[in-house]
């Protein structure tokens, strides 16, 4: 994937992996638009990265996504890529109905959000000489973390959706890529994760991802070394062992 001269949207770009990728792409010559729900956080990112743009969107609202896509294309008519990164992760007590609000919010944000945004952007992206859709899933799409069952399920569903989307768009100008992070030092689950020495440092993760994305042709899956055990657990006959280890180790 070539970065220089590209115009790319990064959802969930105000913090964590989204911000890390946005800043790395910006540094390599891409025009980057970061999107998220909080204008103040987005403004902090653009202030730190002159030339970067931002737009507010709530990916949990179908009407907001449709309006956002129209405004985005009007403001950036040469848009040729989207990184669907916005997501939430919450621990759930499945023994009571109290977790259902979190479960539903997770489905809407992590699964319906990227499906809806991609649907509204594809008519435009298909007019571009070369375009890219990158869906951020997770190593937990392949081996779930039982403490966050809906998060893991949405990422597995997004993995499946991405495979179908890639097949349906084969032969068009739009390439479809899956990026599956491992456990990375971000605030996804709070301060504990951001400082956990067992998590992959964010800067190291972003650097490895950018090196993989720079390959031509762009790999269909971007899997850093730390995520390979999860990604290939089933194929390697190690699923039960990896599942047991993952769910004994965390939370």
The pLDDT value recorded for residue 200 is 98
**Identified catalytic residue from 151, 161, 183, 239:** 151
CA distance 154 to 161: 10
pLDDT for residue 250: 56
- Would 100 be classed as within a structural domain? yes
Pairing between strand 221-222 and 174-179?
A: parallel
Q: How many domains does the chain have?
A: 1
Average pLDDT of the residues in 105-121: 98
pLDDT > 90 in the chain, percent = 99
Compute the average pLDDT of residues 215-232: 98
Q: Among positive and negative, which fits the CA dihedral 220, 10, 47, 205?
A: negative
**Overall average pLDDT of the 197-210 stretch:** 98
Note the pLDDT tens digit of each residue in 36-49: 999 999 999 999 99
Rounded to the nearest 10 degrees, how much is the dihedral formed by the CA atoms of 231, 140, 38, 78? Answer: 30
In a domain, 2, yes or no: no
Inside any domain, residue 156: yes
Whether residue 1 is contained in a domain is answered as no
144 pLDDT band, cuts 50/70/90, is very high
- Model confidence band, residue 125 (pLDDT cutoffs 50, 70, 90): very high
Q: What is the pLDDT of residues 149-176, one digit of tens each?
A: 999 999 999 999 999 999 999 999 999 9
Domain with 80 in it: 7-249
Give dist(CA 146, CA 27) in Å, integer.
37
Q: Is residue 224 part of a domain?
A: yes
Verify whether residue 239 is a known catalytic residue.
no
The answer to whether residue 204 scores a pLDDT higher than 60 is yes
SS3 17: helix
- Stretch 116-137: mean pLDDT, rounded? 98
pLDDT at 112 > cutoff 90? yes
Mean local confidence (pLDDT), 90-116: 96
pLDDT digits (tens, 9 = 90+) for 6-32: 999 999 999 999 999 999 999 999 999
Q: What is the pLDDT of residue 251?
A: 57
Kindly tell me if the per-residue pLDDT of 178 is higher than 90. yes
Answer yes or no: is 132 within a domain.
yes
Judge whether 73 lies within some domain. yes
Element (H, E) at 44: helix 39-48
- CATH number assigned to the domain comprising residue 12: 3.40.50.720
């Amino acid at each position: 994937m070539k970065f220089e001269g590209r115009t790319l949207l990064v959802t969930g770009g105000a913090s964590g992996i989204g911000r890390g990728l946005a800043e790395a792409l910006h540094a390599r010559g891409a025009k980057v638009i970061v999107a998220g729900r909080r204008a103040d956080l987005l403004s902090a990112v653009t202030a730190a990265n002159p030339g970067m743009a931002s737009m507010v969107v709530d990916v949990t609202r179908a009407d907001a996504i449709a309006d956002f896509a129209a405004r985005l294309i009007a403001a950036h008519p040469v848009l040729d890529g989207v990184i669907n990164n916005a997501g939430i992760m919450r621990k759930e007590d499945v023994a009571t109905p109290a977790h259902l609000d979190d479960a539903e919010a997770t489905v809407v944000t992590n699964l319906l959000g990227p499906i809806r945004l991609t649907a509204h952007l594809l008519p435009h992206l298909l007019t571009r000489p070369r375009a890219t859709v990158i869906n951020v899933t997770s190593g937990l799409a392949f081996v779930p973390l039982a403490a966050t069952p809906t998060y893991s399920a949405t990422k597995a569903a997004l993995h499946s959706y991405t495979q179908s989307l890639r097949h349906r768009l084969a032969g068009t100008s739009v390439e479809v890529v899956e990026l599956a992070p491992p456990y990375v030092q971000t605030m996804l689950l709070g301060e504990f994760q951001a400082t956990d020495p067992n998590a992959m440092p964010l800067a190291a993760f972003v650097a490895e991802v950018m090196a993989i994305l720079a390959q031509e042709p762009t790999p269909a899956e971007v899997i850093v070394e730390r995520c390979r055990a999860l990604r290939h657990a089933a194929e390697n006959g190690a699923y039960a062992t990896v599942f047991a280890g993952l769910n004994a180790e965390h939370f």
